[in-house]
Structure 1
């Protein structure tokens, strides 16, 4: 049974975390915009700790880096985990929004997570994210929740916003999480491979944040979600 882990943490000042980062992580931190550095330091440390927990190794034995699936660059792209001993690692996804960082891990297939701070949303977002005829997600902050679901799916697909968010629907007629590709031009990038399926759910991130989680799982497998807070300080 596929296990999907979600770890959440509040943002901690980069100055507090800097000495706990690896040299590569500190270099990434230094390249970040000053306003983003607290969240960047927090999500980098949380990701390495979460992978180490899943692999039952020490955090120093783990590296989480970037790799672009299209050009192979290490300067951007999807997160990829490595172990010093070459052992197996889960798929990993990172997100930061407001004062919260989130990491998702999946041992069965690509995973994507997105967290958004609750904030006023204008009608412009509807034109960017809603596929033709798609209802917003059910519940409060439905349009923002639609955006979070969409980001999670596109992260799991490995495309990010290189694919138009309107290429897929992430809610069924009742506004519940469901994935359907509606743009034939994006089918190759977003349609699951034979024997796999999209799995999508909302994640409880508290009253001040919206979060969603997507994964590509074996067709007939049910999943187990392990979701917890993991303070950094």
Structure 2
């Protein structure tokens, strides 16, 4: 009997934050409107993650970045000012799922064929976390230094993949880590329970050596029980964000067979 074919692994890209003024000419109208709503201290990171998201989706779909649109839709109130990222293609073809995360100096994007969530936090964020806000009753933090922050990042990745974000209490999840094998359990039933026949696959994301000391990152995505787990993700490929006069490196559109 042949082995089941594994699901394609999510595509993950990171990029350092660039000044919004450098990226503004490359943003589409919707991205510019979103940037206009961003607080001044967050504008550079917002512009960087918006452009990175569209470039990565275009890379995965094999189309020109101008043929891709990324917006948001809140599943609770219907607002387009916040909520889950959504991808649409100008050709009307099926679009992948998308998740974004940003800090003041680094942004990250994950693209997958099914629900996906990525979270990225600076290690300095760990100082403001409280165990009673992060951990379920009796749940230990992840082993090692900064374990509480690692647990927070892991849980937020699952919450993003589930489409709820922090509207659902992270204490409704219990994350266990035994010898590097991470599993997700549900301390309370609710919207985080995956569909029948699937499970949340959760992993810590490797970052380049300087970022390993300054950031923590995690990725969550749905994975069928019947298929083998994907191999651990390699180091995410950095994607330099182009200036107004540059073409994104390696962005010759790839056409998929019809």
> In 2, are the aligned partners of 1:138 and 1:176 still within 8 Å (CA)?
no
Note the 1:84-163 alignment, pairs <5 A.
Answer: 84-107=90-113, 109-119=114-124, 121-122=126-127, 124-163=129-168
Determine whether 1:229 maps to 2:238.
yes
> In 1, are the aligned partners of 2:42 and 2:104 still within 8 Å (CA)?
no
Deviates more, 1:171-180 or 1:51-60: 171-180
Q: What is the alpha-carbon distance in structure 2 between the residues aligned to residue 164 and residue 174 of structure 1?
A: 26
Q: What is the alpha-carbon distance in structure 2 between the residues aligned to residue 113 and residue 208 of structure 1?
A: 17
SS at match of 2:130: helix
Q: What is the alpha-carbon distance in structure 2 between the residues aligned to residue 152 and residue 121 of structure 1?
A: 16
Determine whether 1:219 maps to 2:225.
yes
Q: What is the alpha-carbon distance in structure 2 between the residues aligned to residue 101 and residue 148 of structure 1?
A: 14
Instruction: Count residues with an aligned counterpart.
Output: 229
> In 2, are the aligned partners of 1:48 and 1:63 still within 8 Å (CA)?
yes
Determine which structure has the larger strand proportion and give its number: 1
Determine whether 1:182 maps to 2:187.
yes
Equivalent residue for 1:198, pick from 167, 190, 200: 200
> In 2, are the aligned partners of 1:129 and 1:146 still within 8 Å (CA)?
yes
Deviation at 1:72, TM superposition (A): 2.4
Determine whether 1:19 maps to 2:31.
no
Q: What is the alpha-carbon distance in structure 1 between the residues aligned to residue 138 and residue 44 of structure 2?
A: 39
TM-score of the superposed pair, with normalisation by structure 2: 0.84
Deviation at 1:123, TM superposition (A): 7.3
RMSD in angstroms over aligned alpha carbons?
A: 1.6
**1:55 aligned partner:** 61
Determine whether 1:166 maps to 2:171.
yes
> In 1, are the aligned partners of 2:34 and 2:81 still within 8 Å (CA)?
no
**2:39 aligned partner:** 33
Deviates more, 1:154-163 or 1:65-74: 65-74
CA 1:116 to 1:211, structure 2 compared with 1: closer, same or farther past 3 Å?
same
Deviation at 1:73, TM superposition (A): 2.1
Deviation at 1:124, TM superposition (A): 4.7
TM-score of the superposed pair, with normalisation by structure 1: 0.93
Q: What is the alpha-carbon distance in structure 2 between the residues aligned to residue 189 and residue 75 of structure 1?
A: 22
Q: What is the alpha-carbon distance in structure 2 between the residues aligned to residue 140 and residue 232 of structure 1?
A: 32
Cα-to-partner distance string for 1:154-199 (whole Å, 9 max, x where unaligned)? 001111111111111122356752210002xxx2301111111110
